[in-house]
Amino acid sequence: MEKEGIRLPKIAFIGAGSLVFTKNLVRDLLTFPAFQGCTIALMDINEERLGFAKKMVENIAEAGGYQVNIEATTERAAALKGADGVLCTILAGDLPIWRTDLEIPKQYGVDINIGDTRGPAGIFRYLRTVPAMMEICRDIERYCPDAIFLNYTNPMAMLCRTMQGESGIQVTGLCHSVQGTAAMLARWIGAPTEEITYTCAGINHQAFYLEYKWNGKDAYPLIRDAVTNRQEVYNEEIVRNEMFLHLDYYVTESSGHNSEYNAWFRKRPELIEKYCLPGTGWNPGEYALTIKSAEKRRANWNEQMITWRDSPIDLKRGNEYASYIFNAVFGDQTLFEFNGNVRNFGLIDNLPEGACVEVPVLASRKGLSPIHVGPLPDQLAVLVNTSARCEELAVEGALTGDPRKIFHAICFDPLTSAVLSLAEIKEMVDKMFEVNKDWLPQFKHLT
């Protein structure tokens, strides 16, 4: 779209039927003057959800008095053609298949809370999702090769590692847990968030605040005091608080997620009862409740779509990174530093070379520039290396169609290996391959 001879930006939303993400990201984007008159191209394969998304964006534009050209299409090529920025929030597969990610491991005693990031559940979710993500990358190469591609789809690290290794486009993955946890810690110590600075690094959902300062002074003693002496603070995030008290650094993602990324909290029922059920943040500790919640959402999805579409619109800009990144690169070009998922080429010294890490990244008119962090503290490097190397094995298995590498990746998953023998893991993985075979074209011998 052009205005007085000036080409205005186009931003494509792939998976726009994810209404909460679309609503928040469009709202944020349109608060920037540089995007007045821009084109928002909404794409989803579900026409009904797409219609809800289009109406919702129209409501935002009307409420804010924004000038915006809104397109809605089920054709990905049409949405991507000429785009400057691309956002992805797709889900490959629905409840009937992804519930098996939780239910099959549970049959073997591996009690997973959420299962969208790593471990047996996250790996099979990745295997189902990566073909679609690579198709999106190929279309970006074809229709908008210079676009900035921001991914919100999980499992973040394995998908970004694959896309960055197999495509030349500018792509990074975003997770709101970094800024969300930073704000939570600020609340615990009574600090205004604008007075907080930090350096955060690791891998997605398992990054740690290597520094956390309030007006330039180390705030970790204040955080330790709050966690140790205020029961309500301890109870808010029991798993993460236990990790902090013993590992000395605070991890980014919620207790529900982190309870399944290590060997300490979910290997026995009494540990789940003590650490997970009362304090896993937004998600209950029992896997069946995760499934039940999803079933309820799907049963009432039409009502929820109407609620999200028509709910009062708060036009205040949120703290998601995407709009700030686009503004820095092709908006008014205000520099913006954020934590993104990129391959580890000289960024974290004691994590695997080439693995996907989550580190500070500078967005500017030059594009996306990752920032060297150095080594993680030794105790963190041991934990994070295990997850990163399992993810590397899973990516290699997906790229080569080798199920043996997938089995080996799950063999060393901390929670799985704390519960099962090697023979039991093999049996579990074989069963997961069987139920997923129709979703895994890269494993030709399974079909």
Q: Are 60 and 22 in contact (CB under 8 A)?
A: no
Nearest to 301 by CA among 18, 22, 23: 18
3-state secondary structure of 29: helix
Is position 69 annotated in a ligand binding site?
no
User: How many Cβ atoms from other residues are within 10 Å of residue 208's Cβ?
Assistant: 24
User: How many Cβ atoms from other residues are within 10 Å of residue 2's Cβ?
Assistant: 8
Residue 374, phi-psi category: left (phi > 0), alpha (psi -120 to 50), beta (remainder) = left
Backbone angles phi, psi at 85, to 5 degrees: -135, 145
Contacts for 81 with CB less than 8 Å, ≥ 6 apart: 143, 144
Q: Are 134 and 167 in contact (CB under 8 A)?
A: yes
Instruction: Clarify whether 176 is annotated catalytic.
Output: yes
CA-CA distances (angstroms) from residue 263 to 119, 241, 247?
Answer: 11, 16, 14
Token pair of 39, please? 């084109």
- CA gap 307, 298 in Å, rounded: 14
Handedness of CA 250, 285, 112, 21 (dihedral sign): negative
Q: What is the DSSP string of 96-162?
A: HHHHHHHHHHHHTT---S--SSSHHHHHHHHHHHHHHHHHHHHHHHHH-TT-EEEE-PSSHHHHHHH
Is position 154 annotated in a ligand binding site?
yes
- In the block, residue with structure tokens 């949405």: 79
CA-CA distances (angstroms) from residue 141 to 43, 135, 233, 367, 371?
Answer: 17, 10, 47, 16, 26
Is position 246 annotated in a ligand binding site?
no
- The annotated binding site is made up of 154, 175, 205
- The annotated binding site for substrate is made up of 154
Which residues are known to be catalytic? Answer: 176
- The annotated binding site for Mn(2+) is made up of 175, 205
